[in-house]
Structure 1
Amino acid sequence: MIAPVKKADAMTAPEIAEEAEIRFENVSKHFGNPAAPFVAVDELDLEIDKGQMVALLGKTGCGKSTMFNMIAGLSAPTSGRVTLMGHDPFKEFDWFRGKIAIVFQNDRLLPWRTAVKNVELGLEMLETTKEERRERAIYWLHKLGLAGHEDDYPHALSGGMRQRVSIARAFATNAELLLCDEPFSALDEITSKRLRMEFARLVRENGKTAVFITHSINEAFDIGDRIVVLKRPAQIAHDIRLDAATSDEEKEAIRRMIHDSLSQ
């Protein structure tokens, strides 16, 4: 079903503020000359609730990565307000230590560290004890099908296996929010589909909130309980919620609608 996008009125705003894990309130982001700026995000309102898995879908250059950077606290909005868990991710960057984990487009493993040591890296930064680091790293490597590869170095692993290590590293920190920047785009389609379905299952099983950047319609359907389709500059073209009751006919109609929207 396609949920209409509308602003909350004053009567419901306090309730939404308690529920929303991520909020964009009239957010704009400009780059370049202030007299003639490039507008990447334009007066965007968006709320993502705790436990949702949201695919941000749009063509290259529509502002997805700019939104991602603001959520991650790497960039501040030019105007408006971005909050995560009620806090400003840019101004209160240190508060989010251990609360956000990122899975990048490439695995970003350290080549001089084994798989288990790469998974332990985030836990080291959180000053977890050596015994707990090892136990949690082993658990997540096994959970992601890498039993027997704990002591392999990245060069000995396939692309899909390296990305599994990257996902294990994110889950091992037990962060509340997972941010994913097209993490499977460099993999072949079969490996990519298998991994994203596995990722979605783990997010649901562990009660995480996940934001997934993608330009693939198929990927958005595999990942998202909710698909937010963006047009340039980052504004919401469609806000679509999917559940078990969404029929195949409805999904096909939604696919056509998204395709037509992205083709414009």
Structure 2
Amino acid sequence: MNAMDATLSTPANAAGPAEIRFENVTKTFGRMGGGDLFKAVDDLNLEIRPGELVAILGKTGCGKSTMFNMIAGLLEPSQGKVEVSGHNPFTEFNWFRGKIAIVFQNDRLLPWRTAIQNVELGLEMLEVPKAERHATAQRWLTQLGLGGHENDYPHALSGGMRQRVSIARAFATNAGILLCDEPFSALDEMTGNRLRAEFANLVRENGKTAVFITHSINEALQIGDRIVVLRRPAKIAYDVKLPRNADKAVQEEIRLKIQAVLSE
């Protein structure tokens, strides 16, 4: 298989109408003290299908976080339209309760709550009965290798363990869409590699749609079914679908293409 075959291949579980859609989206910000507007996203068109795990890759300042925040409903586009599951995430923010889960760069665990209590937090907000949320939290902690650490507080856990708790918290809500903002960038290489593989497997096994923000080519190649490379201001420079069984030659060809795009 060559890189062109990889580009044309489609993940088996990516089907149906777009789960996430950017239609001619531009986002500008005012500068302090006035002056010209700063354009973070420029006439962006992007569709992400149900079941895709898409790595959004680009240099620092290319607009990745702005895209992320528009999907999450935290920012409104200046022009164009953003739709998630057919709804406007900014104007219909409350509709998305329990439908989107976020894994942040830092674990953002509450230090006064144990591991299991942190995993239960989203379920509490969704008003899931106590016994059910406890059982769900326990199941996800066990699945992520934290059985026996349920009652540990964050200060007693390693960085990798805390991030596992954060991932368990996201999956426990059973949200269909996962947004991940460089969640493994603060971890050592070996721990990060293990968690990326586990996370990708969980996304696929549970039929989730995931958007994974990264500035690392290696991370994008390891985790993505599809890699979307942005150049500043956020505009698609390269969009490639990567089969899960792609050999090293295919990955290397895609890597070189990404490097060429980012160096322009």
Class of the TM-score when normalised by the shorter of the 2 chains: over 0.9
Matched to 1:45, the amino acid is: N
Find the counterpart in structure 2 of residue 10 from structure 1: none
After superposition, where does 1:168-187 map in structure 2 within 5 Å? 168-187=168-187
How many residues are aligned here? 253
Find the counterpart in structure 1 of residue 27 from structure 2: 29
Secondary structure of the corresponding residue to residue 19 of structure 1: coil
Secondary structure of the corresponding residue to residue 19 of structure 2: strand
Q: For 1:65 and 1:162, how far apart are their aligned partners in 2?
A: 23
Find the counterpart in structure 2 of residue 216 from structure 1: 216
The reply to whether residue 101 of structure 1 matches residue 105 of structure 2 is: no
Identical-residue share of aligned pairs (%): 70
Provide the TM-score with structure 2 as the length reference: 0.93
Find the counterpart in structure 2 of residue 53 from structure 1: 53
Find the counterpart in structure 1 of residue 260 from structure 2: 260
Query: Once the 2 structures are TM-superposed, how far is the Cα of residue 18 of structure 1 from its aligned partner?
Result: 5.6
The reply to whether residue 84 of structure 1 matches residue 89 of structure 2 is: no
Provide the TM-score with structure 1 as the length reference: 0.93
Secondary structure of the corresponding residue to residue 20 of structure 1: coil
Q: For 2:16 and 2:75, how far apart are their aligned partners in 1?
A: 24
Matched to 1:219, the amino acid is: E
Query: Once the 2 structures are TM-superposed, how far is the Cα of residue 246 of structure 1 from its aligned partner?
Result: 3.3
4+ residue runs of structure 1 moved beyond 2 angstroms? 1-4, 244-248
Find the counterpart in structure 1 of residue 12 from structure 2: none
Query: What are the superposed Cα offsets for residues 182-232 of structure 1, whole Å, 9 maximum, x if unpaired?
Result: 000000011001001000000000000000000000100111000000000
Matched to 2:235, the amino acid is: Q
Secondary structure of the corresponding residue to residue 199 of structure 1: helix
Query: Once the 2 structures are TM-superposed, how far is the Cα of residue 253 of structure 1 from its aligned partner?
Result: 0.9
Q: For 2:16 and 2:191, how far apart are their aligned partners in 1?
A: 38
Query: What are the superposed Cα offsets for residues 10-42 of structure 1, whole Å, 9 maximum, x if unpaired?
Result: xxxxxxx96100000000000015862111000
Cα separation, partners in 2 of 1:174 and 1:249, compared to 1, 3 Å: same
Secondary structure of the corresponding residue to residue 139 of structure 1: helix
Find the counterpart in structure 2 of residue 12 from structure 1: none
Find the counterpart in structure 1 of residue 44 from structure 2: 44
Residue 225 of structure 2 contacts residue 244 of structure 2 at CA under 8 Å; is this kept in 1? Answer: no
Query: What are the superposed Cα offsets for residues 79-121 of structure 1, whole Å, 9 maximum, x if unpaired?
Result: 0000000000000000000000000000000000000000000
Gap regions ≥5 residues in structure 2: 9-14
Q: For 2:79 and 2:219, how far apart are their aligned partners in 1?
A: 31
Gap regions ≥5 residues in structure 1: 5-16
Bigger shift: 82-91 or 24-33? 24-33
Q: For 2:49 and 2:132, how far apart are their aligned partners in 1?
A: 30
After superposition, where does 1:87-236 map in structure 2 within 5 Å? 87-236=87-236
Matched to 1:257, the amino acid is: K
Query: Once the 2 structures are TM-superposed, how far is the Cα of residue 245 of structure 1 from its aligned partner?
Result: 5.5
Matched to 1:243, the amino acid is: P
Matched to 1:136, the amino acid is: T
Matched to 1:60, the amino acid is: T
The reply to whether residue 251 of structure 1 matches residue 247 of structure 2 is: no
Query: Once the 2 structures are TM-superposed, how far is the Cα of residue 66 of structure 1 from its aligned partner?
Result: 0.2
Find the counterpart in structure 1 of residue 11 from structure 2: none
Secondary structure of the corresponding residue to residue 46 of structure 2: strand
Matched to 1:161, the amino acid is: M
Q: For 1:106 and 1:64, how far apart are their aligned partners in 2?
A: 17
Matched to 2:147, the amino acid is: A
Q: For 2:217 and 2:81, how far apart are their aligned partners in 1?
A: 29
Secondary structure of the corresponding residue to residue 67 of structure 1: helix
Q: For 1:244 and 1:258, how far apart are their aligned partners in 2?
A: 18
